[in-house]
Structure 1
Amino acid sequence: MELTQQQSLPVSQAQAWEALNDITLLQAAIPGCEGITPTGDNQYEVLVLAAIGPVKAKFKGKLQLENLQAPTSYTIRFEGQGGAAGHGKGSADIRLEANGPRETVLHYTAKASVGGKIAQIGSRLVDMAAQKMATEFFDKFKAALQERYQVAPEPAPVTAPQGLFARIAAWFKRLFG
């Protein structure tokens, strides 16, 4: 499986880097994460409850950060065991690009392989589960950034009615105030 995407973060590059290295913030943002424990320099043990299709399991894994280029990029190497559910391993390249004083674009490419029951489910379900987890992570991560750095959420776009209905609505508004 390979997943390549980018996300716009509402903070400076330095703030994004700080948040990406904050264990407490990451634990709260990672779906199903029950713990992240440092085990050495840039090494962590992670406990995650994950559901991939009909298979639900608690995965115990190891993370290692490599190629750290603060505040621009790093690589995460990971491997995990989910007992009878199977196992997985892979890496993710993370790169931060400043796009102004209060916006940073996070680029990532994750590559992973799975084995055991998870592999038997099929790559389509595994890819969908990975995409869902990434979406949930970034939703929570952005909300945490907004709270931590007092960033106002983006306002919902205002759309004006168009065509005949807009003219009728305006006419009623003028008549009945």
Structure 2
Amino acid sequence: MEMSDSRVIKAPREVVWAAILSPEVLKACVPGCTELTGTPEEGYQATVVQKVGPVKATFKGTVTLSNMNEPESLTLSGEGKGGAAGFAKGGADVSFKEVEEGTELTYAVDAKVGGKLAQLGSRIIDGFAKKMADQFFTNLQDAVEGPADADAAPEAEGEAAEEGKKKGWFKRMVSG
């Protein structure tokens, strides 16, 4: 399964680059990630809980960063084993380009599955892989940019206020 897309993140390229190298940001961005330890140089160990169609599994695996050409491009690769559910592995070539609005992030994703997961059929797997990639890069964008309407967040109540505080936390951390 292969797919590609791009999005503009309203932040300098160096901030977006630093975000994607941060273990805290990666853990927050990977859907279903319950644990992530390691460093960009040595790679990360991750635990991810996901439900793909009728199959729910806990994947334990690694995430590595390679082909790092700061701050222009890198490759994110991951591989996880989900016991009886099978395995998933894939990678994303990510490039960062300065544009007037901030940073254009372009990614090309390639994913493969095996075991019970592969028996679900390509339509389910392709849809799930697309959803996971979109969610990862949306989470990255939220961590860097903050809420769409930053002025409204402080007046928001309950969960909306909490969500407003969570978003943009990485950008506040590096610029604060």
TM-score, normalised with respect to structure 1? 0.78
CA RMSD of aligned residues (A): 2.0
Residue identity over aligned pairs, in percent, reads: 39
Answer yes or no: is the 8 Å Cα contact 2:27–2:34 preserved in 1: yes
Q: Deviations over 1:45-86 (max 9, x none)?
A: 111111111111110111111111011111122211000111
- Residue 131 in 1 paired to residue 126 in 2? no
**Residue 41 of structure 2: aligned partner:** 41
**Residue 9 of structure 2: aligned partner:** 9
Gaps of 5+ in 2: 151-176
Q: How many residues align?
A: 151
- Residue 111 in 1 paired to residue 110 in 2? yes
Gaps of 5+ in 1: 155-177
Secondary structure of 2:74's counterpart equals strand
Answer yes or no: is the 8 Å Cα contact 1:39–1:45 preserved in 2: no
Distance 1:27 1:132 in 2: 17
Q: What amino acid is aligned across from residue 74 of structure 2 in structure 1?
A: Y
Secondary structure of 1:11's counterpart equals coil
Q: What amino acid is aligned across from residue 52 of structure 1 in structure 2?
A: V
| 1:28-107 equivalences in 2 (<5 Å) | 28-38=28-38, 41-100=41-100, 102-107=101-106
Distance 1:152 1:51 in 2: 29
Q: Which moved more, 1:61-70 or 1:129-138?
A: 129-138
- Residue 24 in 1 paired to residue 24 in 2? yes
4+ long deviations beyond 6 Å: none
Secondary structure of 1:31's counterpart equals coil
Larger radius of gyration between Structure 1 and Structure 2: 1
Answer yes or no: is the 8 Å Cα contact 1:146–1:153 preserved in 2: no
**Residue 156 of structure 2: aligned partner:** none
Q: What amino acid is aligned across from residue 117 of structure 2 in structure 1?
A: I
